[in-house]
Amino acid sequence: MPLLDHETPSCPVCGQSVGDEAQTWCEQCRQTYPWPLLKATMNNWTFYARLITGEIVCFTEASITGSWVTLKGAGLINASDHSPLEHDDPLMYGRGLVVQVDHIVWCADEDS
């Protein structure tokens, strides 16, 4: 749906004005959140994140609320051979794994 003349685009993460129609996210979100994490809020793809506790999480999409991120379609990855770890933890299923953004050491998408 095209924007009306009096509308300015808003950031899909925080709702603030983007200011420039060529940008998807506001300047604050682009400086706060890593690019692959922002991309995961808009695209269903394969993404990876390493947590400060050492686990690598594979996820397909994300939603960000302040300092928290929900990694959806998440599962833990074995760092040595990149195979999924077997687990019975219900946190890894259903609605996603919720982590603090500052507990993510790095993140990447499958193309990175």
Question: Residues 28, 38: one domain?
Answer: no
pLDDT at 10 over 70: yes
Question: Residues 39, 86: one domain?
Answer: yes
Question: Residues 79, 28: one domain?
Answer: no
The answer to whether 46 touches 58, Cβ cutoff 8 Å, is: yes
What is the pTM (predicted TM-score) of this model?
A: 0.77
Tell me the residue range of the domain where 12 lies: 1-32
Number of domains making up the chain:
2
Q: How far is CA 86 from the centre of its chain?
A: 23
What confidence tier does 94 reach under pLDDT thresholds 50, 70, 90?
low
Q: What is the pLDDT of residue 86?
A: 57
Q: Residues 96-107: what's their mean pLDDT?
A: 93
Model confidence over 58-71: pLDDT tens digits?
Answer: 899 999 999 999 99
Over pLDDT 70: what percentage of the chain? Answer: 77
Of 42, 58, 44, nearest in space to 107 by CA: 58
pLDDT at 78 over 70: no
What confidence tier does 9 reach under pLDDT thresholds 50, 70, 90?
confident
Question: Residues 47, 102: one domain?
Answer: yes
